[in-house]
A and B are shown apart, each in its own frame.
Chain A
């Protein structure tokens, strides 16, 4: 706050405020602008691209360049495909708040219609993976057991057995998959966001990916059972050890103190 008030009188302050105001009005306009009903397929498509371009100019172009060609602050988006946009914006990672080791998941500020428009625009820049169809990641017909095996071979090394996340080098991390939309999991595999490698159809077939998504739904869903009791974060022996020390040994020591304590004496008369 102090810093802010000190810089309020900076010569460039007015410019910053102006830019900020522009961005906000643009954003608000984008948020409230009614999305026209599609009339015909191709016109809807070109309209979406047009709308997407506008949204892109406001929310993305500052880092990725006005044509999505990339700048020193953000990579080129040519050829990343609609799936990448749907994932990055849908999980709130983009637009990024600040540079860091890794851009974290946060609350998504666009609605699905806007994301689709952005995706359509970025897809128009160059061919890339498209947003998967619902049948691609639905549970129906998936082999959960096989999905588990695939998950342990391809995913668990970074994301843990049941997708609780894990550490990578120098502050980067594989995020927890708790509460992530199946579609976004599918898209992440397809596109390989940030430091995650991609798993295109050559390395994991469509059926493989469907199995993996189904397995995750089974072991990392809201209703996933942990028959033995609290799952202690699903992190394995470290949290178990802590729990054993604090609650196990702690409770026993408390009991021991009671056992060894002196019984209340009668009041001295």
Chain B
């Protein structure tokens, strides 16, 4: 293409208008060399590869609607008496933040819709990141060279959670205010510096007059700014690394198979933005979210039952709810509030466990190669088991975070649910790990059977001597390849501890641990040996199925 452009350029003035503009830009921005490597860049097609796009687009939607909301929202804690359109709130004292939220909802045409799109998109954004992360995790897409991008994505998830938290606190309603009060308690629980931090962050005693404006700056400026940077970096790396792909015919570690950016992917990805925006708009049209007018303005002496944060903080909420009430009194002078402290320490630790996993896996397996073909989760049972265990811990705590609603809707005792969650948080992941690993092994065994004996066709045939058999269809070459192309690495060997001369070899403790973990990863109870060519030949050349 660029060659042709060069040719036409020679005849000056003949070039069409668009091309002349492009020439102008190229002279200043070098767009042709950029386009050369990127315009026909190949992207593989798979629905699970679009989960990240859902996040990207909901982020854009959040920014667009968020800018609109700032035009009407007053992040102020000055008090006013309400006299607007919503009758049940007449005569109530509230902050300007709350009043302007009511104003957006009841007096700005379309304001309610934009508010609801903003909030629904935020829920979808974080949910999308979570599911996207799970896709990347279970398929092993985080392996070299993508560990850094995994971290970027993880940071986006964490920042997304906190941007969400500061955002839903802004209307200063009774529900979110209760959440802010919780944060105050958390800050106070910090040993040594707690009360100082609390005074600085709130500008005095709770609630003060500063926290909403401060949250506002953090919510609209600081956090989204950082997130935008990370997001751009995340996308650049996706481009640079080229997308991963599932194994299959014609797909190797050294190529990427799919459709070119221009035009197919451009149309699909661009179109998908509108699809996401459209779906979220429809949801905002039919389902109410955070109806602050029903909740009422915040007052520190009022509260409602069912006081929960948005779902992405539900995990932390659960940890706090099920924590036993431990408190230390040190020499009668100092207090450590473990009832708050331990949950807010476990919370980042659980998140960090999944964040550092790629580094742990590569250390344990000693795998330093690049990986662009995805793993099928069953072929990496330990990783899959760990992921499931993590999810179980996460969702058990999510149940804990909503224990009061589970209690009322399933006619259970809140205390029993709390106890269930306390136990399940420790037992559930272990069971989940074991069960998942076994399921993975079973699926591997099935793959092996399919390769060797073909697919069960469901057709029952009666043999001349009266025996019934099910006809097994042999697999095609493509499937045979897909089912056998994965690696089955051997665990790391540290070698004998005593060499042939009887001298003890020095093996560091970390090396021993590594070998042990490696065995856990790649050891014999992790894979069913995949069929070898010989086995296959023997069976197929012999008497077919048996």
Contacts and interface: CB of A to CB of B under 8 A. Distances in A.
Question: Do A's and B's CB atoms come within 8 Å in the complex?
Answer: yes
Contact of A167 (B88, B314, B414): B414
Contacts of B120: 244, 248
Given A237-B310, A259-B275, A165 B283 contact: no
Nearest to B403: A167
A262 B275 CA distance: 18
A261 B351 CA distance: 33
30 contacts: A143-B91, A145-B82, A145-B90, A152-B296, A156-B302, A156-B304, A158-B305, A161-B294, A161-B295, A161-B304, A166-B306, A167-B404, A170-B413, A226-B291, A228-B105, A228-B288, A237-B308, A239-B405, A240-B310, A240-B311, A241-B314, A244-B123, A248-B127, A248-B283, A249-B54, A256-B47, A256-B51, A259-B272, A260-B47, A260-B50
B310 A249 contact: no
A174 B175 CA distance: 19
B335 to A, nearest CB: 26
B78 interface: no
A130 B65 CA distance: 55
B254 interface: no
A247 interface: yes
Contacts of B268: 259-260
A171 interface: yes
A234 interface: yes
B124 A252 contact: yes
Given A218-B88, A248-B279, A230 B414 contact: no
Given A162-B294, A228-B289, 8 more contacts: A148-B92, A160-B306, A234-B294, A238-B405, A241-B311, A244-B120, A255-B275, A256-B54
Contacts of A146: 91
A230 B288 contact: yes
Contact of B291 (A166, A218, A228, A259): A228
A141 to B, nearest CB: 14
Contact of B306 (A101, A226, A235, A245): A235
A249 B91 contact: no
Nearest to B57: A252
Q: Which 7 A-B pairs have the closest CB atoms?
A: A241-B311, A166-B305, A228-B288, A244-B123, A171-B413, A167-B404, A167-B407
Interface string B289-317: 11100111001011111111111101000
A252 B54 contact: yes
Nearest to B415: A170
B288 A229 contact: yes
Given A169-B414, A241-B310, A256-B54, A228 B47 contact: no
Nearest to A155: B304
Interface string B516-546: 0000000000000000000000000000000
A157 interface: yes
Contacts of A226: 288, 291
A177 interface: no
B286 A229 contact: yes
A219 B294 contact: yes
Nearest to A227: B112
Nearest to B123: A244
Nearest to A172: B413
Nearest to A234: B294
Most chain A C-beta atoms within 10 Å of own C-beta, residue among B116, B120, B291, B415? B291
A230 B286 contact: yes
A149 interface: yes
A232 interface: yes
Interface in A155-187: 156-162, 164-171, 173-174
A168 B178 CA distance: 19
B88 A245 contact: no
Contacts of B128: 249, 252
A197 interface: no
Interface in A211-269: 215, 218-219, 226-232, 234-245, 247-249, 251-253, 255-257, 259-262
A236 B308 contact: yes
A230 B403 CA distance: 23
B503 interface: no
Contacts of A157: 302-305
Nearest to A248: B124
A107 B280 CA distance: 41
A243 B415 CA distance: 26
A144 B289 contact: no
Nearest to B290: A240
A174 B311 contact: no
A152 B91 contact: no
B407 A228 contact: no
Interface string B29-64: 000000000000000011111110110000000000
A153 interface: yes
A145 B311 contact: no
A238 B413 contact: no
Interface in A4-24: none
Contacts of A239: 405
A258 to B, nearest CB: 8
A218 to B, nearest CB: 5
B289 A240 contact: yes
Interface string B58-91: 0000000000000000000000001000011111
B347 to A, nearest CB: 17
A227 B85 CA distance: 13
Contacts of B307: 236
B290 A167 contact: no
